[in-house]
């Protein structure tokens, strides 16, 4: 989170947005009574991220074989341990939809924090770029004038 580089923040942001999207979609579908395999299928098609779509496809195959939802999440390394742990608890308690919504809410908050840190990184960059543009314009105007003045004075 405290990375000084711009790109790790963007990568984290994209990943957290994708987790928020698929957990909220899946939680909503399950709470609406959609069968879990159908809900996972719809969620994987609408995930908007190929990595998470593949992970959800693996989850779907795991459930078809009688395994748990959380197992493939742990193996995939695509999501944090907290996500797979909360999904596991949701499976055990029968409140998978509520746990998925809690994960989505948690990640929504993390996305807000990352956006704020991204904005704090962008402000100094924009100031530097604007300063470089202004400096270029000033030099483009004054350098020819200085050359003309020195040409007149020396001549």
Annotated domain spans of the chain? 6-121
- Give the CATH superfamily of 6-121: Type II secretion system (T2SS), domain F (1.20.81.30)
Copy the structure tokens of residue 136.
Answer: 């270029």
Residue 1 above 60 pLDDT? no
Residue 154 above 70 pLDDT? no
Cα 143 from Cα 22, distance rounded (Å): 57
Q: At what angle do helices 96-154 and 6-31 cross, to 10 degrees?
A: 150
Q: What is the pLDDT of residue 103?
A: 94
pTM of the model: 0.73
């Amino acid at each position: 989170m405290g990375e000084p580089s711009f790109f790790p923040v963007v990568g984290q942001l994209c990943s957290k947005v994708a987790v928020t999207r698929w957990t909220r979609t899946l939680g909503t579908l399950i709470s609406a009574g959609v069968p879990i395999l159908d809900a996972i299928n719809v969620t994987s098609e609408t995930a908007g991220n190929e990595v998470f779509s593949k992970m959800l496809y693996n989850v779907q195959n795991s459930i078809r074989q009688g395994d748990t939802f959380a197992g493939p999440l742990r193996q995939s390394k695509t999501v944090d341990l907290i996500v797979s742990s909360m999904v596991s608890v949701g499976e055990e308690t029968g409140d998978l939809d509520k746990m998925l919504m809690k994960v989505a809410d948690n990640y929504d908050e993390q996305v807000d924090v990352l956006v704020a840190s991204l904005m704090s990184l962008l402000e100094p960059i924009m100031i530097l770029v604007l300063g470089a543009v202004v400096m270029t314009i000033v030099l483009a105007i004054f350098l020819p004038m200085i050359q003309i003045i020195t040409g007149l004075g020396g001549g």
